[in-house]
């Protein structure tokens, strides 16, 4: 199963609404099951540097089918995934990337959000991912 453009656009709209509620400006990337970009939005005034971070968060969440914050916990010195962020052309291992599941609990893509604190990034990503 793969995420559709219609689903990706809905996810981005919900994520934008959450970002507005948190008074933040975000870059929001949605990738499909193959970690290919399906949809992207850069809110007016969002940091340019966060564009790449949002995409890498989405890809990281899909590559490993878990929230990027969890990967970050596992990749600390002495952790089982220490230095994993250097693989796959560069990963992001702090919160803001979340896998997206369909109604059958199958992973069909992922969302990555960047532009604020990692807590806000995760909250916005989670809102988007849970909108399906």
Topology (CATH level 3) of domain 5-129: Beta-Lactamase (3.30.450)
Which is it for strands 107-114 and 27-32: parallel, antiparallel or unpaired? Answer: antiparallel
Residue whose C-alpha is closest to residue 39's, from 126, 112, 117: 112
Residue with more model confidence, 98 or 132? 98
10 phi and psi angles, rounded to 5 deg: -65, -45
CA-based radius of gyration for the chain: 13
Residues 40-98 pLDDT 10s: 999 999 999 999 999 999 999 999 999 999 999 999 999 999 999 999 999 999 999 99
pTM of this prediction? 0.96
* Predicted confidence band of residue 32 (pLDDT cuts 50, 70, 90): very high
Say yes or no to pLDDT of 1 above 90: no
* pLDDT number for residue 21: 98
Domain ranges of the chain: 5-129
């Amino acid at each position: 199963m793969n995420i559709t453009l219609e689903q990706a656009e809905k996810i981005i709209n919900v994520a934008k609404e959450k970002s507005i509620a948190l008074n933040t400006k975000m870059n929001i990337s949605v990738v499909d099951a193959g970690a290919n970009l399906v949809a992207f939005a850069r809110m007016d005034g969002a940091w340019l540097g966060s564009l790449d971070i949002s995409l890498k968060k989405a890809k990281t969440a899909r590559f490993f089918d878990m929230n990027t914050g969890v990967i970050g916990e596992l990749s600390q010195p002495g952790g089982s995934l220490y230095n994993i962020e250097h693989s796959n052309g560069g990963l992001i291992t702090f919160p803001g990337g979340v896998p997206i599941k369909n109604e059958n609990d199958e992973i069909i893509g992922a969302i990555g959000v960047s532009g604020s604190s990692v807590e806000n990034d995760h909250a916005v990503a989670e809102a988007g991912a849970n909108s399906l």
